[in-house]
Amino acid sequence: MDACPHCKSSWIGEPIPEEDQKLFNATHFKRMIGIEVRTLYDGVAVYQCPDCGKYSPVGDSKLEKSLFKALKEYMDEEISE
């Protein structure tokens, strides 16, 4: 994903130096914040937009969407407690 689905802000950041592009497997840094919830999933489960602060699934697959749903429910519980 290259842009926020909520505010449409671009997540493409600074260019990565050519010698490091292989390391990151990308040509530009991304600006969104990857959120990990180790109790649910070992890896980034959700992206947070650096501009509007809203959360999005990391992709369109069923797994990514269900992870997002689980994480949202988890966070809602944490906040309301």
Chain positions contacting Zn ion, by CB under 5 A: 4, 6-7, 9, 49, 51-52
Which residue's CB is nearer to Zn ion, number 9 or number 66? 9
User: Looking at the DSSP assignment, which residues form a beta bridge with residue 44?
Assistant: 36
Q: How far is the CB of 25 from Zn ion (least distance, A)?
A: 24
The runs of H, that is alpha helices, within 13-54 are: 21-24
Which residue's CB is nearer to Zn ion, number 7 or number 40? 7
Q: How far is the CB of 60 from Zn ion (least distance, A)?
A: 17
Which residue's CB is nearer to Zn ion, number 9 or number 61? 9
Paired tokens of 33: 């914040």
For the beta carbon of residue 8, count every other beta carbon within 10 angstroms: 10
For the chain, how many residues are written? 81
